[in-house]
Every structure is written in C-alpha cells, then in structure tokens.
Structure 1
C-alpha cells in the first residue's frame, strides 16, 4: 500500500509499505479519507523527543472507509461495512483497528466524508462542559472544534460568545449559532467586552479550543465565580502556567476534556454519527480544503498557517 512516512521535521515521504493484516478482534479498513488534526502540526514540525522515521500512516487518526477484511472473532462487522475508526495510522491506503473502535456509518452518510474522531471529541467535550439553557458560554478559538461546539451549545439554549483571531472565523461562528463575537486581538479589550455583555458577571462556561498559553490565560479571566473552565485545546508543546490565585478565588471547576477511556470515546463517536445522520448538525461546510495523500505536507502546512477560508483539511483517497 501507499503510506505517508514522517522521515524528519517537516519531511514526509510517500512510499510503499506492507499492507497490515487484521489480528484477532480487529478489522482492516480500506480508507476513503482521513482528517488532518491541528495536533498533527507539532509532531510534523518535530519536537525534542521526536524519533524518526515514523510508522507508515502515522499521525493519521481521523480515518473513515470500508472494511475489507476482519480478524478472528469479529462477528458484528463484515467486509463491505462503511465505518469511521479510532485508529492511529490512517495516512495510508489501509489501516487496522480493534472492532470495538469502529462505528458503522448509516446509509444517510453514504458519499459524505466522516472524520469521526474529531466529531466524537466535540460531543464528549460538550458533555463534560455541562452546558445548560440560559447560560453564557465563551468559546475561545473557532476552528472545526470550536464551530461544532458553538452549534451544540447554542442548540442547548446557551448564549455563545465566540472569540477568534480571524473575521471569517467569527462569521463562521455566527452561522453556527453564536450570539456574540469578539476579535481575539487584545487581551484586556476582550475581557472588557465580556464584562459589558454579562453585566460584569462573566461566563458560566468557558471552553478553550486553541491549545496555547494566552488563550488559557484568557479563559481564566472570562470564567465567572463557580463556573466551569473546559480545556479542549491540545496542549502538547510544553508546560503551562496558570493563575491559581484567580482560579482559587473564583472557586471554579477545571475540566481537561480529552477523553482516554475507549468506551467514552466510542460513545462520543456514536453520538456524532447519529447527529450528522439525522441532520441535527451539518459539518460539511467545515471541510474547507481537500488534498491527495501526495499533498499531505501541504495539508499540514495549511492546518498550521490557516490560509483564506481554511477550517479543516481532509486527505482523500477516493
């Protein structure tokens, strides 16, 4: 099979690799596509602890496609089933996954891309956020994840304040239900704007979706007394500092919303499948850029640099 191999910092080689065989309890998927995650960027650029070369297909964890082989003991999934998978080597033509880590895609989703992992993440983050009708929710960083969370929170009856760098991201947030938008350009101006919008009570919920120090600092300022600060951004480039005096004073709950329990991850994925299939949420406008496997380096650069109109990149195999 053809697979992407990370050979060094920002150096991807598309070459031949052995097609994986499913072991007991596993399925093999002939991939239709794989989403590109913002968390791919830093490993692609290289980190002090990185080792090379990476595994064929490595970094790819948002794949979907058609099962073409099953291992011993797999009873409820068959060749020909179209699925979304929670697997780890999907920047390749084939990947294997545990049978318990795939979700069947219903006919309503035929022909549609379905990067299940980030959609499932959004539903799990939403659950951990415990958003209720009438609350004011600030969402910091409106990319793919922030836009989906904006839709879920606004549909739950919350007033969403979307905060992001680019005007087009703020426009996107409006389309997905945000009641208010604030440019993410001046720390104190943002705080003053939220004070004005909330009669200085600040927000019952704040979801940080960026994964950098400043947005985390900002989240701590925007949360109100007794509120819940939800860390949805993936902080993987080193330690963070927080204003613990401020957090203590406000008596807030702080939630790291990155689920690691496979059963919880699958619950979120299945909820996402049901929501998209029913039309409750339409992520299609968020799939802004598509690339072939040979163009994976370009897809990663776009994910980092955010060209005009960018929300999310997909690598397509068919």
Structure 2
C-alpha cells in the first residue's frame, strides 16, 4: 500500500508498505478520505506528537473508509461497513485503529470526505464542551479561536446541548463573519478595544460560564477577564503560545476551574469511553445533519504537498481533505 512517511525535518515521501493487520481489539480500514490536522505538520517538522514522530513515521490522525477486517473483540462494526476513525498512520491506503476509535458513519447521506473531517473534532469537543466544561441549558459558552475545525464543532455542540448564549472569537474579519453559520449567536474579535465591555453587555455583567480555549498564550488574560464567577476554562489548544503571565488574583477571586485536556496522555480505556459518549450523545445530532464541518479544499492523495502548503499558509476555513483512489487493492 502507499503511505505518506516522514523522511526528515519538513520532508515526506510516498512509500510502499505492507498492509497492517488488525490485532484482537483493532479494525482494519480501507481509507477513502483523510483530513489534515496541525499535528500532522508538527510531525513533518520533526516534532514528536506524544510517542509518535521522527523519520519513518506514517502520519495522519483521522480518516474514513470501509472496514476490511476486524479483531475478535470488535462487535460494533463489521467488514464492509462504512466507518470513520482516528488514531495514527491514517495517511495511507489502509489504516488500523483500536476499536474504541472507529465509529460507523452516521448516515447514508454522509460521504467519506465529510466523515473524515469529524472524528477528532467530535471526540475533542464533546469531551471539552460537555464532559469537562459542563455546557448545557442555562449556560453561556465562549470559544476562543472558533474558526478552526475543532472550534466550529465546539460552537455547534454547545448549541446542540442547549447553551443559552454561544459566542466565538476570531481575529480574522472574514472568518469571524462566518461563525454564526456554525452555531455562534455572536462573533467577537478578542483583540478589539472594549473587549470587557462587550463581554459584560452580552452576559449581563456575569461573564461566560464555560470558556473553550484553543489559543492560550496571551489570550489566557482575556479568558480570565471574560469568565464568570465559578466558570470553567478548558484549555484545548496553544496555537498562540504555551506560556504566558497568569493573574492568580483574578483566578482566585472568580474561583475559576482551569482544566487542561489532550488525548496524548489518555489511556485506551479513556478514549473508548469518550467515543462511546460520542456515539450515544452526538449520534442523533449527526444523523439529522446538525453537526458538520466545512471542507475548505479537497486534494488527491498524490497532491499531499499542496494540501500541506495550504495548511501552512493558514489560508483555509474548515478542513483540508485528501481523497484516495477507491480502486486500490492490498
């Protein structure tokens, strides 16, 4: 099979590899489409992502396709079924993943391309917005950095679970203008003058109950300013920086719960439980088309260099997808 393999810092090659075989708890999928994530670029640049990285690494964190074979412990999907999955080594004609990371595609109307964009956003944001953040009826939710794929999903999940007020931020005027298409009641520029006044006006002076932070760095100060008393701030991403000044006095006065999340240190059992909740609690919303992500651009698998370049240039809104030759054989 063909796979995209890291060859060195900033480099990759298409290599012929053996088709992986599923262990007892795994699913082998014939990949039809796969979606790019920032971590893919990080690994191309020589960084480690958890325990993965370095020359010889097959990259790719989410994909969709058809089940080819399953291990004896797998009961919820079967050969021939259309599925979407996450994990490692997804930029290949075949991918294998733990049973807990593979879910049936929600509806017959959903194509492989759309399905490939969903696994990481669904898992990450159900956990961040609902399990960790506690968003729901009567709650106000702010998503910092809402124009990314996971950010757009956070807006939709908060709205689907009945949040009273959902706000999203972006410093890009064009992207900010599209946030209301994906569940935001209001879109804000976190760098605009009068930030505190905007937050007070929107929330009746209380601040936001739940803040999903995809930026961190200097934006942590904005989060504390925007937080209500006893708010929860869930840090998901650090695109704006991994460290910053922290106002411990405001943190204490507001009694804010500050929660960090990542999948890199989760156990197999934890990930399986997260996916069980995704199937159970988000499944109905997916089936009726209430949760989706825009596809910014589709490239053929052979055009991966162009796809990576587009992501590096940060020109995209939504997801970048690679499609594979559906006639490939093992």
Name the residue aligned to 2:90. 90
Structure 2 residue 286 is the aligned partner of structure 1 residue 279: no
Contact 1:147 1:172 in 2 (8 A): no
Q: How does 1:19-34 map to 2 (within 5 A)?
A: 19-34=19-34
Name the residue aligned to 2:80. 80
CA distances 1:48-102 after superposition (whole Å, capped 9, x unpaired): 899631323x2x1111110112334545532211112232110111111223432
Question: Which of 186, 197, 218 is 1:180 aligned to?
Answer: 186
Q: How does 1:147-158 map to 2 (within 5 A)?
A: 147-155=152-160, 156-158=162-164
When the two structures are superposed, what TM-score results if normalisation uses the length of structure 2?
0.83
Structure 2 residue 303 is the aligned partner of structure 1 residue 295: yes
Residues in 2 aligned to 1:221 and 1:295: alpha-carbon distance in whole angstroms: 44
**Shift in Å at residue 150 of structure 1?**
1.4
Runs of 5+ unmatched residues, structure 2: 326-330
Name the residue aligned to 1:204. 209
Larger relative contact order, structure 1 or 2 (CA cutoff 8 Å, min sep 6)? 1
When the two structures are superposed, what TM-score results if normalisation uses the length of structure 1?
0.86
Q: How does 1:121-140 map to 2 (within 5 A)?
A: 121-127=124-130, 128-140=132-144
**Alignment CA distance shift 1:45-1:221 (3 Å):** farther
Aligned CA RMSD, in angstroms, stands at 2.7
**Alignment CA distance shift 1:2-1:241 (3 Å):** farther
Moved more, 193-202 or 140-149: 193-202
Structure 2 residue 324 is the aligned partner of structure 1 residue 317: yes
Residues in 2 aligned to 1:69 and 1:33: alpha-carbon distance in whole angstroms: 18
Question: Which of 169, 173, 176 is 1:170 aligned to?
Answer: 176
**Shift in Å at residue 241 of structure 1?**
4.9
Question: Which of 214, 222, 225 is 1:221 aligned to?
Answer: 225
Contact 2:145 2:169 in 1 (8 A): yes
Residues in 2 aligned to 1:71 and 1:135: alpha-carbon distance in whole angstroms: 42
SS in 1 for 2:225: helix
Number of equivalenced pairs: 311
Runs of 5+ unmatched residues, structure 1: none
